[in-house]
Amino acid sequence: MNSRCTGQIWNCWCHDINTAQQNHHFDYLFVDEADFESYKPDSFAGLVTMFRKYK
């Protein structure tokens, strides 16, 4: 794991893969079940837009 990376493991993975290559940008999306059940997005784009709580 990159020593400059702090936080959760998925955040470190995204940082490392984005540093190693530039063809695609990777980011994480954490969706907790209670909020998912409350908002019920109808698309992945809606999911990405609504669930920014843990960024």
Q: How far is CA 13 from CA 18, 32, 36, 40, 54, in A?
A: 8, 20, 24, 28, 16
> Full-prediction pTM beyond 0.75?
no
- pLDDT tens figures, 34-52: 988 998 889 999 888 888 8
Please check the confidence at residue 2 and state whether its pLDDT lies above 80: no
Distance of CA 10 to the CA centre of its chain: 7
Reported residue count of the chain is 55
Please report, for the chain, the start and end positions of each structural domain, with discontinuous segments joined by +. Answer: 9-50
Amino acid (one-letter) located at 41: P
